[in-house]
A and B are shown apart, each in its own frame.
Chain A
């Protein structure tokens, strides 16, 4: 569904010294510098697959997403999405994708969302009956029955994002690009949106490409991670493989009062929750020592949270 073959993107950035003298000098001596946003990216995404495009700020995630949707043109390399070259912006291509950006809206701010729904029907040349059925289905699934008839600017961020998702899915895209879809949302709305997206993908088989700094989104929505750092692809594989590659070990959690575990490297989190993170090879030994000391302890072993793994991956990237 998506093929990225040796894609690079170089911007020409203008550099100017601060102050009046810098402004005047820039009039006749304009300095520019080439900035490589993305370098020699290679990956492919199969139809129906869900991938997370992760990386620190400025890593090249959004540049990649914009190239995949045709908004940016690659400097070199070859891109294909749903059988099309995105930058050609063919009607069939635009009708098969959707981009949801948490920071930008496509709803018309001063009109009710239903007006944008109608506009969407016209722009995408949707059959009226199918469009009506899709609107009803999305409004029901997203729980926005009352919100869609109010001017968008009067909606809360969570209500607006639900409406944004509804309008993005009206033409039933086969490839869905999500750029920070839950940024700024509260926990309840975030969980609801994740659940909706997971159901939508399960039902439609849509391909999904997600960028997010929220590892909750990643864990809930994707099976595979593409880690981009300083414009280069540093990891491509399943979430488990990502944990194994960058995760620092196992996380042991012991619940109970009156336990003495400080000397074993545990830290008390909350009133009755002792936590220790140790290398995989040492996990079984530590487990045995805890059980020896507290045979009835309520003990669980976890993979480290994705946030920690990602932080470790970023840290490793900075050191290399």
Chain B
């Protein structure tokens, strides 16, 4: 068993203790990310007069119900943690330890997932009761690909936030840059507008960008609007972004630490 595998259970235990300690704050954050329910009401009204791009009322309901869940499963708040640690110098203490500090952050964010689902569960149950068409059965292949694409979506979200957070090695504040990313993300990830509703030219352009890979892809696989048999190109793009981000994060971390070591820790 390697060093990381041996460390994992205790790291997880402490990370989970942290998650439980900040449960109230996290619950508020989770409840603050229920925008998909608002979007559901908006698009529900639009499709009431007739299906749009193949979506009827139940299709829209399923889409935003899935959006709500995938958004929670891919929730990451690394940017703020990392940026604060770099600017305050508290990263120094973590750099003296023989494990990469990003690892502990990743674990803490992954271990928050069960808590996120627990907080979300009552909302899901209520809506499932009000809209029975929200309950659908996905095939084993759909479930399998959904889990893989959701895991990669989480990693891309984590990687993007790591890159933006590491900008603090060079600039005073990275939050503004994240604001730009988040604005594009809201429009281009499928969070507010399902991809099928976008003009074809926009869909073609966004296909190659990372936004879709962070949210719309797992949603479409899960709800069946993207058949598993046709998902190959989308998953390939997601894999390329995942790999590219892994390399970019590793390179920027090395350069960032060199900068941190040159200009003051």
Contacts and interface: CB of A to CB of B under 8 A. Distances in A.
A and B associate in one complex: yes
A108 to B, nearest CB: 7
Interface string B140-165: 00000000000000000000000000
B18 A11 contact: no
A104 B7 CA distance: 25
Contacts of A111: 14, 17-18, 21
A85 B265 CA distance: 18
A96 to B, nearest CB: 10
Chain A contact residues: helix, strand, loop or mixed: mixed
B21 A94 contact: no
B96 A71 contact: yes
B96 A125 contact: no
Contacts of B11: 119, 122-123
A123 B263 CA distance: 27
Contacts of B13: 118
B22 interface: yes
From B9, B14, B258, name the one whose CB has the most chain A CB atoms within 10 angstroms. B14
B263 A89 contact: no
Interface string A1-13: 0000000000110
- Max chain B C-beta neighbours (<10 A), residue from A69, A73, A91: A73
B233 to A, nearest CB: 41
Contacts of A123: 7, 11, 97-99
Contacts of A121: 10
A72 B93 contact: no
Interface in A55-86: 66, 69-73
B265 A115 contact: no
Nearest to B2: A125
B33 interface: no
B87 to A, nearest CB: 14
Interface residues of A, number: 33
B96 A69 contact: yes
Contacts of A94: 96-98
B98 A124 contact: yes
Contacts of B96: 69-71, 94, 97-99, 106
Contacts of B90: 104
Interface string A121-143: 11111000000000000000000
Interface string B75-101: 000000000000001101111111100
State which size class the interface on B falls in. Answer: 20 to 34
A66 B93 CA distance: 11
Contacts of A73: 258, 261-262
A119 B13 CA distance: 8
B265 to A, nearest CB: 4
- A72, A94, A101, A119 — most chain B CB neighbours (10 Å): A119
B199 interface: no
B119 to A, nearest CB: 19
A46 B108 CA distance: 41
Contacts of A105: 93
Contact of A122 (B14, B18, B89): B14
A223 to B, nearest CB: 26
A99 B93 CA distance: 8
A111 B3 CA distance: 25
A167 to B, nearest CB: 10
Interface in B241-265: 258, 260-265
Given A104-B89, A110-B22, A122 B262 contact: no
Contacts of B95: 70-71, 89
Given A66-B265, A108-B14, A122-B7, A91 B98 contact: yes
A87 interface: yes
A119 B260 CA distance: 24
Nearest to B265: A71
14 contacts: A71-B260, A72-B261, A95-B98, A110-B21, A111-B17, A111-B18, A115-B17, A119-B10, A119-B104, A121-B10, A122-B11, A123-B98, A125-B3, A125-B7
